[in-house]
Structure 1
């Protein structure tokens, strides 16, 4: 769906860095992507965060950027009797979008630890959107 005729090999390498956030050192967020009618749906697994404070969704140069941060709480530690397999810190994922997605048409909702972003798939390609933060509603 994306216009690949504009890409060079260097663009592809830069995109791989963005997809896995290797330059920022953030752990990737697991996602599901599928088409539902005329919408692209991206679901991201981000449990244990406050969507109002800890999740940021932006659009930049034809990419959907999801960034979240989970802060460790110290009150659970009791001397040497503490074990945790939870992950804390920054998490992010960048998803390439079809050319022509309009930022004003994007909707995001957070329910039970899953962020769902719905984007209408354009019928005709256009220029990539300019960077913009996407608001999140609670379900």
Structure 2
């Protein structure tokens, strides 16, 4: 009886790279043809800080705005019109929104873009009052 030898070698891609490219692998847009901006957020020195990864852009490519307690970062990377052999760079519009924490002062916002990282910080004022229970009247 002859034994078949398996000679095909299959390697798995780096899992983080594979998952990050998942929407494009299946032709799926993200957020209505917008790519999601990767962020991290934390509180430091009495400020709420959001850092967004936006390499290869200029401040003119980036828009940061606040509306009704939501901070939104939008950016667009335009593709150069050159013939390429291979490209893994994402082009097009990107967006990310985060809800500001309670007590955020929308009049105290600072933004800085350095080395491909956008840092937006919002001052944290006094915490808003806690929820208050309201007595319900029962009518006769």
TM category (shorter chain) comes to 0.5 to 0.7
Give the TM-score normalised by the residue count of structure 1.
Answer: 0.66
On the 8 A contact 1:58/1:66 being kept in 2, the answer is yes
Residue 113 of structure 1 pairs with residue 116 of structure 2 = yes
Which runs of no fewer than 5 residues in structure 2 stay unpaired?
1-29, 130-140
Q: In the alignment, what sits opposite 1:12?
A: none
- Deviating 4+ runs (over 3 angstroms): none
Length, aligned pairs only: 100
Shift of 1:68: 0.3
Whether 1:71 aligns to 2:78 is yes
Secondary structure of 1:106 counterpart: strand
2:113 partner SS: strand
Consecutive unaligned residues of structure 1, counting only runs of 5 or more, are 1-20, 127-139
**Structure showing greater Rg:** 2
Of structures 1 and 2, the one with the larger relative CO (CA 8 A, separation 6+) is: 1
SS of corresponding position for 1:72: coil
Paired with 2:43 and 2:127, the residues of 1 have a C-alpha distance of 16
Output the aligned Cα RMSD.
Answer: 1.7
More helix by share: 1
How far, CA to CA, are the matches of 2:62 and 2:124 in structure 1?
24
Alignment partner for residue 25 of structure 1, among 19, 33, 36? Answer: 33
